[in-house]
């Protein structure tokens, strides 16, 4: 199966699913206006020491994030786009300022409510970082990533199922592109002499979103994403992003995030990132 053929798979699947579900179409729902939500948060932590007998280093860390959604319902069709941006840095002792958090993600989903057990959907995602990233070894630093370098782009089509109000899962055929510019190791095929800057894989994608309100001021959200390439199943990527949010007051929140990624295209090791942030939270609109 050629890559050009793979590009048509999501569209063909969606057309087939739509035709199959027409008989179960629910009553028409009037089109709604777009609704938007954007929440920002700012965090900071500082430690200053002078003649401290127990030792230690001065430190300062800061970060901010923006999380938003845009949604519109038109009859049986609904279109929702979510976007996440987070950035943070720290400075420890005499070290230069280092980046510790950098996330830029967009996900858009067009869903058709069939009125049955399964709902067809079309989805596209983009994941990258906004600034250059480095790996550090003693006094040396090595650049390993940059803006849209790499960028993970995925388009998929399939069916969604909502077993409970808190859990939604989707399964479909997908096409994933890894786009690079300077840091080609993410996309390059080591079996060829040519350096590839773009890697395209067709495969299966599964995404499960969960959100539990554990108390009036405590919420746990989780997203589990799995992509299995058809031609290289050994390069299956698995990622789970879970966040516990505790609203301490109208403007102060505690966020604990745990992200686990197993992606052979980026690293042979299982990547783990855990952050805890206490800061100001505000609704922009």
- What is the model's pLDDT at position 282? 86
Dihedral sign (CA 280, 211, 82, 147): positive
Q: What is the pTM of this model?
A: 0.86
For 3-23+30-283, CATH gives 2.40.230
pLDDT tens figures, 76-103? 999 999 999 999 999 999 999 999 999 9
All residue ranges of the chain with pLDDT < 70 are 1-30
Cα–Cα distance, 148 to 102 (Å, whole number): 12
Query: Can you give the residue ranges of every domain in the chain?
Result: 3-23+30-283
Beta strands in the chain (DSSP E): 35-47, 59-74, 77-92, 98-112, 119-128, 133-137, 140-145, 151-161, 167-179, 198-215, 218-229, 237-247, 252-262, 271-283
Residue 11 belongs to what H/E stretch? helix 9-21
pLDDT tens figures, 209-235? 999 999 999 999 999 999 999 999 999
Cα–Cα distance, 65 to 69 (Å, whole number): 14
């Amino acid at each position: 199966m050629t890559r050009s053929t793979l590009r048509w798979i999501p569209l063909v699947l969606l057309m087939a699913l739509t035709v199959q579900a027409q008989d179960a179409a629910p009553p028409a729902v009037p089109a709604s206006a777009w609704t938007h939500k954007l929440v920002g948060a700012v965090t900071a932590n500082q430690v200053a020491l002078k003649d401290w007998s127990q030792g230690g280093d001065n430190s300062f860390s800061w970060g901010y994030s923006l999380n938003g959604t845009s949604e519109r319902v038109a009859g049986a069709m609904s279109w929702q786009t979510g976007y996440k941006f987070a950035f943070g840095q720290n400075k420890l002792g005499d070290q230069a300022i280092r980046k510790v958090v950098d996330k830029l993600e967009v996900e858009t989903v067009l869903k058709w409510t069939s009125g049955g057990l399964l709902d067809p959907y079309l989805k596209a995602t983009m994941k990258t970082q906004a600034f250059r990233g480095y790996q550090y070894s003693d006094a040396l630093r090595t650049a390993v990533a940059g803006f849209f370098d790499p960028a993970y782009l995925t388009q998929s089509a399939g069916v969604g199922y909502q077993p409970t109000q808190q859990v939604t899962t989707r399964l479909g055929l997908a096409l994933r592109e890894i786009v690079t510019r300077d840091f080609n190791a993410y996309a390059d095929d080591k079996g060829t002499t040519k350096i590839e800057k773009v890697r395209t894989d067709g495969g299966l994608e599964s995404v499960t979103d969960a959100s539990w309100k554990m108390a009036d001021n405590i919420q746990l959200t989780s997203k589990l994403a799995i992509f299995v390439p058809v031609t290289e199943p050994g390069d299956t990527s698995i990622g789970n992003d879970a966040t516990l949010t505790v609203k301490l007051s109208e403007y102060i929140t505690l966020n604990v995030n745990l992200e686990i990624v197993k992606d052979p295209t980026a690293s042979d090791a299982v990547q783990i990132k855990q952050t805890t942030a206490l800061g100001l939270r505000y609704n922009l609109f």
